[in-house]
Amino acid sequence: MVEELSGTRAPETADSKRPITVRSVVGGTALIALLAFITPYSEYRVHSMEFFQGQIPVGALASLVVVLLPVNWFLGRFKPAWRVSLPELVFMFIMAFAGIMVYHIGMMGLFLSMISSPDYFAAPENRYAEFILPYLPPAAIPSNAHNEMAYFYTGLPPGQKIPWNVWLVPLFWWWSFFAAFLLVCCALTAILRKQWFDHEKVTFPHAEVTLALVKGSGEKGGLPEIMRNRLFWYGALIPFAFIVWNIISYFTPLWPRIRFSQVETGIAIQYFDSFHVKPDYFTIGFAYFVDTNILFSIWFFRYLVMVQDAAYRRVGVVAATRNDPWTTANALIGWECFGGLVLWTLWGLWMGRHHFRAVWRRVWNSGAGADDSNELLSYRTAVLSLAGGLLFMLAWLMYLGMAWYVAMIFLAILMVLIIGITRVVAESGMPIVGAPITAQAFTMRTIGDANLSPQSFVGLSLSLAAFRMIEGYPMPMVMHSARLGDVVRGRRRALFVAIFAGSIIAMILMSTTTIRLAYDGGAFNFGAHHAFHQMWEAYDHMVARIKDPWPREPSLLLHFAGGASFVASLLFARYRFNWSGLHPVGFFTAMTFYHSVTTLSFLITWLIKLIINKIGGMALYNRWKPFFIGLICGQVAGAILSFIVDAIFFMGEGHDIYTMAAFGGQGW
């Protein structure tokens, strides 16, 4: 385990030499089919937990903790000849992981509501017919000529069939666009993996936890090594017991419930954003595997920007600045953090210039440059895939209505966001990471509303169908999967098959399942905040800005430059004076909601690790790893139990719980 994560090879075993098999493909496909049904069913029908939240969602971990590992233990104990090998287990997990990420609110969740709503909801009050409908590209939007979209939201009348004919063309082109985006993420991962993991020694806490969970599962008996440790079960019992306690309150309202929702437990102080005071076991479990300097920076920068935000509120600066949708509450500080993220991302690419030269030599000469035999794709294939994928994405964005220069700026910023946030996830171990601003907001603010045509506004609106929230983008999942390739010895090409096949299968199944559920009972009854209650925000916002263009705000660009300068000074101190006490990674997302509600958990973990390192050093730290992984698994198992109870006893009135308490809801 330690050798794998440090970049050196562990000894070859019989398991590590076994190829990817037919049963691993069949098993992975079965997991995707299960998730494709359960994920929308839980959210839209049961009104229970969300399986897809975050860069390491509960649906992915549940496929491992609740399905794959128990089944493999059962086979190892009662039918050893059928026991699944470690590479097969990893392959199936990656297929499930890729599948669940497709559904996320950054992709499938908002996609169907965005393309189905503008014509049906057009009314004289919102003026969609004047500013939106004339510019909608026909191949991107299903027709409502015969009330097809009306039935989508209200349910089909008795005896009528689902009008698949109006969906086929839009679904095909949007699926193609998502596939191109996924291919770009896979290509970037293939190019960056060696630089990040082999040269810069990025640890990726999410992958470290996953590797610990699967280690030893392919051996005799099938029980993972970590689950043979009592500390694992002690850790798992804590969150699981709390959830079971709260499940009792589902049946007996007078039963006292332990509140875990961060939204409900903040401390209010004048001018300050809410201080969230509930720890989250899921976050603490991953945070234990993060470097203490990074842990310190995560909570330190959060409280630092809270002070800055309070000062701005006190003098009235915030009130004078308009906010773009789905960005930080304080636009100025959001742009400040984003400036730092852009600088840090570009600096990271500059630091890898020697590796990129070696990659380029390999592209032109298969016998020269960096070795690519253990990457998801060969470097030549990766570069061609990156170029082809970006060209397809550019063409589709222009078809949606964006002018060529608008589409190019949008795509460039999107790539910076993807690479930057993936690196933040890999370094920080945050279970869910948001971006301070969106690529749409940056594009509109830099070009200026007055310089954008109505077609470009509509194109930017439709782009929110795929690119609204960064936590749904697939590149962290792809990089996580590439890290798991350490246990598949030279077979990362097979992992690319798992990622791409899993995503495409899930894309088709989850889209069609959601459409079926909508026509069966009406999307109006879904009750899903992320997917079917936010499409109006995008279109209403764009109509308002077409009618009354926002002026340029130089203060945003000044804060962008200020954030970049601040991070540049931190990087200078780190590389010039070898000063590593304040890592910049905690600064980039410090103003985001997800960062704010997990700050206390990182602070607690930082204190725990300081004490452990002081008392027992690395030996004590390694000894307690199973306990913190147990915290994660106990919370996942408890969440699945709560969903099962809801599906059986509380259909349509489920309990809105999530993987992390940070996500709000009714709490555990």
Which of 45-59, 170-184, 533-547 tops mean pLDDT? Answer: 170-184
Q: How far apart are CA 134 and CA 127, in angstroms?
A: 11
Alpha-helical regions (H) of 119-159: 128-131, 148-154
Nearest of 498, 506, 507, 480 to residue 21 by alpha carbon: 498
Confidence of residue 155 (pLDDT cuts 50, 70, 90): very high
CA dist., res. 525 & res. 508, Å (int): 23
Token pair for 7: 């970049």
> CB atoms < 10 A from the CB of 218, how many?
24
Nearest Cα to Cα of residue 511 among 110, 183, 181, 146: 110
Which tokens belong to 517? 């559920």
HEC string of 151-200 equals HHHHCCCCCCCCCCHHHHHHHHHHHHHHHHHHHHHHHHHHHHHHHHHHHC
Q: What percentage of the chain reaches a pLDDT higher than 70?
A: 90
Average pLDDT in the 35-49 region?
Answer: 86
The residues, ordered by sequence, that sit 6+ positions from 308 with a Cβ below 8 Å of its Cβ are 333
Give yes or no for a contact between 84 and 28, defined as CB atoms under 8 angstroms apart.
no
Q: Could you report the per-residue pLDDT of 63-113, keeping only the tens digit for each?
A: 999 999 999 898 888 888 888 888 888 889 998 998 888 776 545 657 888
CA dist., res. 268 & res. 271, Å (int):
9
pTM of the model: 0.91
Higher pLDDT, 488 or 660: 488
Residue 276 binned pLDDT confidence (cut-offs 50, 70, 90): confident
What are the φ and ψ backbone dihedral angles of 318, each rounded to 5 degrees? -65, -40
Q: What average pLDDT does this structure show over 435-447?
A: 93
Mean pLDDT of 448-471: 87
The count of C-alpha atoms lying within 13 angstroms of the C-alpha of 222, restricted to the half-sphere facing its C-beta, is 20
Range of lowest pLDDT (37-46, 132-141, 395-404): 37-46
> Is the model's pLDDT at 354 over the cut of 70?
yes
Instruction: Answer whether 7's CB lies under 8 Å from 201's CB.
Output: yes
**φ, ψ dihedrals at 267, nearest 5°:** -105, 125
Own/partner contacts of 493-498, CB < 8 Å, gap of 24 or more, are: 493/375, 493/376, 493/377, 494/19, 494/20, 494/91, 495/90, 495/91, 495/94, 495/376, 496/186, 496/190, 496/376, 496/377, 497/20, 498/20, 498/28, 498/91, 498/92, 498/94, 498/95, 498/98
pLDDT band at 410 (very low <50, low <70, confident <90, very high): very high
Higher pLDDT, 346 or 551: 346
Average pLDDT for 523-542: 74
What's the pLDDT at 450?
92
> Distance of CA 77 to CAs 217, 218, 558, Å?
12, 12, 63
Query: What is the C-alpha separation between 241 and 462, in angstroms, rounded?
Result: 44
> Would you state the pLDDT for residue 623?
96
Per-residue pLDDT tens over the stretch 556-565: 999 999 999 9
In this prediction, residue 471 carries a pLDDT of: 74
- Which whole number is the average pLDDT over 554-579? 90
pLDDT digits (tens, 9 = 90+) for 216-272: 886 776 788 999 999 999 999 999 999 999 999 999 988 888 776 544 556 777 777
> What's the number of CA atoms in the CB half-sphere (13 Å) around residue 546?
22
DSSP 582: S
Q: How confident is the model at residue 11 (pLDDT cuts 50, 70, 90)?
A: very low
